[in-house]
Amino acid sequence: MSNAIIKETEPNGDTRVATISIVVVAFNSRTEVERTLPAAVAELRPGDELIVVDNASDDGTPGTVADVAPDARLLQMDRNVGFAAAVNAGARAATGNLLIFLNPDARPLPGFGEAIRRPLLRKEGWSAWMGLVACDHGRFVNSLGNAVHFTGIAWAGGHGQPLPADLEPDEVTAASGACLAVRAPVWREVGGFPEDFFLYHEDIDLSLRLRLAGLRVGIEPAAAVDHDYEFGSSHHKWRWLERNRWAVLIRVYPAPLLALIAPALVLTELALIPVAIAGGWGRQKLAAAGDLIRWLPRLLAERRDIQSRRKISTVAFARWLTPDLDSPFIGNFARSAPIRGGLRAYWKAVLFVLNRLDP
């Protein structure tokens, strides 16, 4: 790894060394942190720090952190507060001018520390960016950026594809929370992750809020991590996914866009009911609806604040969304040619109207 000192240029022309704070949230992650933390420590420079937030693990995770990364700062929560709240706690304790959030099973590959700082020097003006999230020992893609369907369904872009050798830095719709870098002043300005999300979609929410505010989100593929990824999770996953998808729609989508996609949202809900029942997560879908009803007054208040910060047109925001359901985890029917064609035609009409309402 190069020993060059990377400096960040301030708006007044001053420069300062780009220090990073890597924040890892752990919950019963003893095996994962044993693999990830030594690799993260190897990428640190003087002035950098590693912060581990432990969500009340009972598998010996704190002891493993002390063994494999004795210089790490360990924040121990008194209960499992979820990923979003734990990240926020770690960020509040951080001193670096670049915050990097890593999943406990996302092991940095050699050169990560230098590469993740590079966007600070380039002229793109990114406010947040992700590293390349690989899987299967760095041979395949886990995420090249999260894609977001206009109904709020989101997934890891490029998942399962062979790892390309010629990727260049580029913008993405939404950065993956598995390996997410955010300028510290930007993080503080936007208020971090929505803590009530607990888990899932917090990276989508943050990325879309940044886009709404006219800020930019990218990927630095030279900063790679090997993510030990599995789609399956706890039985709560579908509840969190559905609840948080709707929370993003309510909080972040501009009103003209919500009005125009309302028919599609209704049809999506009707389609998901039998899918949820057949898939064994009908109760989770119902619980997600109950959560949203309880949350609605707060979500509407948060919406007013978020929309007051909007700096781009509705159509400019909408162009970052996709009509295609391209995730390998979505059923074949939703990805069939007739459905794809219908969604594309609908979305084209939405963009046409938005371009005249709010160009």
> pLDDT digits over 279-311, tens only?
899 999 999 999 999 999 999 999 999 999 999
* Phi and psi, residue 222, nearest 5°: -70, -20
**Predicted pLDDT of residue 12:** 42
CA angle 198, 200, 201 (to 5 degrees): 115
* 11 pLDDT higher than 80: no
Task: Give the pLDDT of residue 2.
Answer: 41
Confidence band (pLDDT; 50, 70, 90) for 233?
low
Residues 6+ apart with CB under 8 A from 184: 21, 91, 94, 96, 97, 98, 99
Half-sphere exposure of 355 (CA within 13 A, CB side): 7
DSSP element (H, E) containing 154: strand 154-156
**pLDDT of 14 higher than 70:** no
Pair 65, 53: CB distance under 8 Å: no
Check pLDDT > 50 for residue 243: yes
Residues 183, 276, single domain; the answer is no
pLDDT surpasses 90 at 269: yes
Q: What is the span of the domain harbouring residue 165?
A: 7-227
Q: Is 50 exceeded by the pLDDT of residue 1?
A: no
CATH number at residue 202: 3.90.550.10
7-21, 184-198, 218-232 — most confident range: 184-198
Please report the pLDDT score of residue 326 as a whole number: 86
**Average pLDDT of the residues of the chain:** 92
Overall pTM surpassing 0.85 (yes/no): yes
CB 146 within 8 A of CB 156: yes
Is residue 206 located within the same domain as residue 275? Answer: no
Mean pLDDT for 55-70 is 97
Q: Are residues 197 and 245 in the same domain?
A: no
In a domain, 2, yes or no: no
Query: DSSP states of 175-210 as a string?
Result: --TTEEEEEHHHHHHHTSS-GGG-SSSHHHHHHHHH
- What mean pLDDT is predicted for residues 192-197? 97
- What amino acid is encoded at 100 in this protein? I
Cβ proximity of 156 and 164 under 8 Å = no
Task: Measure the CA–CA gap between 172 and 130, rounded to whole angstroms.
Answer: 9
Q: Is the pLDDT of residue 259 over 70?
A: yes
State residue 3's pLDDT score.
Answer: 45
Closest CA to 128 of 187, 204, 40, 86: 187
Q: Inform me whether the pLDDT recorded for 356 exceeds 60.
A: yes
Residue 116 pLDDT exceeds 80: yes
Domain boundary residue among 206, 227, 248? 227
Mean pLDDT, rounded, for 60-72? 97
pLDDT of 15: 41
Is residue 232 domain-resident? Answer: no
Give the residue, 334 or 58, on which the prediction is more confident. 58
324 in a domain, yes or no?
yes
- Report d(CA 170, CA 241) in Å as an integer: 27
In a domain, 293, yes or no: yes
Number of domains in the chain: 2
Check whether residue 90 and residue 167 sit in a common domain. yes
Three-state DSSP at 325 gives: coil
Mean pLDDT of 199-206: 97
Q: Report yes or no on 295 lying in a domain.
A: yes
Is the model's pLDDT at 340 over the cut of 70? yes
Residues paired with 225 in a beta bridge = 108, 133
Check residue 200 and give its pLDDT: 94
114 and 144 together in one domain:
yes
pLDDT computed for residue 165 by the predictor? 83
* CA–CA gap between residue 316 and residue 307 (Å, rounded): 14
Rounded average pLDDT over 71-76: 98
- pLDDT of 119-147, one tens digit each? 988 878 999 999 999 999 888 999 999 99
Residue 1 lies in a domain: no
Distance CA 183, CA 199 (A): 22
pLDDT band at 60 (very low <50, low <70, confident <90, very high): very high
Structure tokens, 230: 């599995």
Of the pLDDT bands very low, low, confident and very high (cuts 50, 70, 90), residue 17 is low
Higher pLDDT, 239 or 333: 239
Band of pLDDT at residue 358, cut at 50, 70 and 90: confident
